[in-house]
Structure 1
Amino acid sequence: MLAARARKGLLVVGVFTALLWVIHVANVLTGTRLIGALGIDPLELDGLDGIVFAPLLHAGVGHLLSNTLPLLVLGFLTFLEGTGRFAVAVAASWLGSGIGVWIFGGGLTIGASGVVFGLFAYLIVRGFYNRSLRQILLAVVLFLMYGSILWGVLPTAGSNVSWQAHLFGALGGVLAALILRRRSVPGRTDRRRQSSGR
């Protein structure tokens, strides 16, 4: 079961990441016109479609490379919980980042880093909501690997990096972990005790 899910996760996340590269090539071939047309333009009605499309666009190879490996790793680890949970985590990160940028952003914004921050935040906090030692241990490992990216949620003077995308993407990931937290079923413990006593 887990092996099959892992194979499917590799396929889904791999195809999505490959799609980002295909879109980047198409954007370059069109003279980067897609960025102006589909980026998030804060507080502009014309920029609302960017909430959906901006994470698919990147300013250059370096920008896309910086998101590729984290998307593969974090996306795969999230997918191991199942397609539904993966979809909720990605959607919350994607929309949280996009809506936050549209309301509070400082300029035209593109890139999947908001989704990266959202998946990272989701994987970091879900273990505490679920009270899962295994998930908490994974969170510790991920924090040691990628924890430094959390500085990206803070404003940086003179930087053209959208800290708003990072911050609201991360908040979307936390929201997804809250929505998807595992709830205990009333009476389940009692039934188990009764069964073991027979």
Structure 2
Amino acid sequence: MSGPEAGWSRSERALAAGKLMLLWVALLWLLEVVDVLTGHALDGFGLSPRASSELVDVVPSAFIHFGFAHLAANTVPLLVLGFLAALAGLRRFLLVCALIIVVDGLGVWLVSPPHTNTAGASGLIFGLFGFLLVTGFVERRPLGVLAGLLIAATWGGSILAGLAPTQSGVSWQGHLLGLLAGVAAAFVFRRRAGGPAPSPRDAA
């Protein structure tokens, strides 16, 4: 780890990760309140496939939800998985999230069925799951491997259910693409033993 986080203690890193995820989720809830108060005007920031004008919504779509029930279902996994991923460093975490959101959003735009509108943090959640699942193996860190196994045991069942193409009203494509993007992020932003996380250019 490099930069200002290098000298942080474990408790300081945990506090920073917790604050970041609480602010992230608070933003999502604030946006949903605004959406409801404006007659769901923000739903237009969801992604409709293969329309060039929709490309500007690749990132915003990850912050918009279709109702409080949709958001509530994403809140706990985003908090937990985001917190765990952010413990290794906020800068790396934000880069991982950016890669997942962009790759997942572009994939949804490209492959989703016609006349659909896709939004929500679930693609990022699946991406963080994939990242945490494999990063310990990629970096050959025993504690990371153990953490990945525990995460798989805890969340694996719901993740597999979310990949089922038979679910109505669920973007299984977005879930699968997010998962794959998270696995890719574990390789792109892997840390070498005894050194900081490489930049995407260094890892190419």
TM-score (norm 1): 0.88
Moved more, 120-129 or 176-185: 176-185
The correspondence for 2:24, drawn from 2, 5, 16, is: 16
Residues 163-174 of structure 1 aligned to structure 2 (within 5 Å): 163-174=172-183
Where does residue 15 of structure 2 map in the other structure?
7
Q: Please give the alpha-carbon distance, in whole angstroms, between the structure 2 residues aligned to 1:121 and 1:93.
A: 10
Residues 14-163 of structure 1 aligned to structure 2 (within 5 Å): 14-36=22-44, 38-106=45-113, 107-148=116-157, 149-156=159-166, 159-163=168-172
Structure 2 unaligned spans of 5+: 1-8, 195-204
Q: Please give the alpha-carbon distance, in whole angstroms, between the structure 1 residues aligned to 2:48 and 2:164.
A: 20
Q: Please give the alpha-carbon distance, in whole angstroms, between the structure 1 residues aligned to 2:109 and 2:192.
A: 34
Q: Please give the alpha-carbon distance, in whole angstroms, between the structure 1 residues aligned to 2:96 and 2:155.
A: 18
Q: Can you list the C-alpha shifts for 1:123-173, whole angstroms capped at 9, x where unaligned?
A: 00101101111111111111111001133223125x110011111111111
Q: Residues 184 and 132 (structure 1 numbering): CA distance in 2 closer, same or farther, change over 3 Å?
A: closer
Contact conserved, 2:127 with 2:181, CA < 8 A, in 1? yes
Contact conserved, 1:52 with 1:95, CA < 8 A, in 2? yes
Deviation, 1:15, is 0.3
Q: Helix, strand or coil for the counterpart of 1:48?
A: helix
- After TM superposition, the runs of 4+ consecutive aligned structure 1 residues lying more than 4 A away are none
Contact conserved, 1:9 with 1:76, CA < 8 A, in 2? yes
Q: Please give the alpha-carbon distance, in whole angstroms, between the structure 2 residues aligned to 1:25 and 1:111.
A: 15
Structure 1 unaligned spans of 5+: 186-198
One-letter code aligned to 1:63: H
Moved more, 115-124 or 136-145: 136-145
Contact conserved, 1:96 with 1:171, CA < 8 A, in 2? no
Q: Please give the alpha-carbon distance, in whole angstroms, between the structure 1 residues aligned to 2:193 and 2:166.
A: 42
Q: Helix, strand or coil for the counterpart of 2:58?
A: helix
Where does residue 192 of structure 1 map in the other structure?
none
Contact conserved, 2:139 with 2:193, CA < 8 A, in 1? no
Q: Percent of aligned pairs with the same residue? A: 42
Q: Helix, strand or coil for the counterpart of 1:122?
A: helix
Q: Helix, strand or coil for the counterpart of 1:49?
A: helix
Deviation, 1:49, is 1.7
Larger radius of gyration: 1
Deviation, 1:184, is 5.4
One-letter code aligned to 1:52: V
